[in-house]
Amino acid sequence: MRVNILLIIKIVFWIWLAVLLFLTYFPQLPTAELEIGDEIFRLDYLGHLIFYFVLIVLFILSRLELLNNKFKKLLLFSLFAGIIFATLTELSQNFIPGRTYNIFDLVYNCMGVFFGLVFIYFGHRKNLFYFSAWCGWWFR
């Protein structure tokens, strides 16, 4: 039985997006904090970075058929779409009870998008995303 890896990536992308939106609009989520000397670092910032990193990587990988022909256009579109999506979700939290707009959340969202694009860019240059070459045999 052969599994379509592109279909699996697309399904995982939509599930990841749904979880991200659920967490974005869930009222009054607790935030864990880490004390480093006199400074306090909110651990949810790391969560923002990771969630948007994975989101942008899954988005681009779900469009593997475009990686060869329209790679630069896909990266540029992903950059703008990721930043606009991050901004809109952060701004819309003003309308959720117990949630507010936080510029640092937005900064970490955008950092996740940027690092995801850098990961994809260098991975594409090293041919890491040709699944038939390195893991296609696993899904036979």
- Structure pTM? 0.82
What's the pLDDT tens digit per position in 97-126? 888 888 999 999 999 999 999 999 888 877
What's the pLDDT tens digit per position in 55-85? 999 999 888 776 667 888 899 999 999 999 9
Distance CA 114, CA 56 (A): 9
